[in-house]
Structure 1
Amino acid sequence: MNKVVMIGNLTKDPEIRTTNGGHSVCTFTLAINRRIADKNGERQADFIPVVCWRAQADSCAKYLQKGSKVGVSGTMQTRSYQTQDGSNRQITELIADEVEFIANIKHKEQDSEDYPY
């Protein structure tokens, strides 16, 4: 079974692009605080890359920004790729099935009628 549910805050504004096939894909990173503090009493965070597709990608790009709190459910997926310098890399990403907007800072250019909160 591969089902993941996470709540965290975006570390920077989401990035959106369009595939060669015309599908929207949006990526962002969630900062998720760990429940237990380390030996110095500080809470560490994990940084999880998230990928959204199609209409969900468009909504995330339009309404989310750095600091937004979201809940994401989906599946974890690992893939490998080669960098321009020829080194091999591996990345684990959360492929979103659902993104729930929990708290957000309103974009300056958005009208209140346009905003889903």
Structure 2
Amino acid sequence: MNQIVFVGRICRDIEIKSAGENSKVVNNALAIPRTYRDRNGETITDFIPFVAWNGLATMLHKFACKGQRIAISGMMQSRKYQDKDNKSVYVIECHAQEIELLDRPSAKSKEDQSFKNGGSESDDETQESMQIAREMVDQVIDQLKEESTL
């Protein structure tokens, strides 16, 4: 089974691109603070690339922004492509299947500060993010249980 849930903040401005005649895509990353700190007491943040297609891409483009906290449910995928120097580049990213917009940055200064600190969240935000992730995981488990009984 390949099912994940991430809660974090959008790292870059949302740019929607065309992919073929009828497809839209957004490539971005989530800044996700770990639940523990380093030796110096600093928050450790992971940056997880994600891709959203079509309806999810359009929704992100219209309603989401850099610094906004979102929850993504999806699966991890790997792919390979050739860069401009014809070298193979391997990518592992989250393929979004469901996205929930959780909040918006209240001011540009708050957004800038968040990313100067490596995208760290307050302890309250981290706890709230963990609760949202748990609820989404519970929903996925319930769906899988329903599917297995059909």
Q: TM-score range by the shorter chain?
A: 0.7 to 0.9
- Higher share in helix: 2
Match of 1:6 in 2: 6
- Higher share in strand: 1
CA distance in structure 1 between the partners assigned to 2:4 and 2:43 by the alignment:
22
Match of 2:41 in 1: 41
AA of the residue aligned to 1:101: L
1:82 equivalenced with 2:73 (yes/no): no
Superposition RMSD in Å: 1.3
CA distance in structure 2 between the partners assigned to 1:17 and 1:82 by the alignment:
19
Match of 1:18 in 2: 18
Match of 1:114 in 2: none
CA distance in structure 2 between the partners assigned to 1:50 and 1:39 by the alignment:
29
CA distance in structure 2 between the partners assigned to 1:87 and 1:40 by the alignment:
38
Match of 1:101 in 2: 101
CA distance in structure 1 between the partners assigned to 2:19 and 2:27 by the alignment:
13
Larger Rg, first or second structure (1 or 2): 2
List runs of 5+ in structure 1 lacking aligned partners: 107-117
Which structure 1 residue ranges, 4+ long, deviate > 6 Å from structure 2? none
AA of the residue aligned to 2:81: Y
Match of 1:59 in 2: 59
AA of the residue aligned to 1:5: V
List runs of 5+ in structure 2 lacking aligned partners: 107-150
CA distance in structure 1 between the partners assigned to 2:54 and 2:66 by the alignment:
21
Q: Deviations over 1:73-114 (max 9, x none)?
A: 0000011111101222111110001000000148xxxxxxxx
Give the count of matched residue pairs. 106
SS, match of residue 103 in structure 1:
coil
Normalized against structure 1, the TM-score is what?
0.85
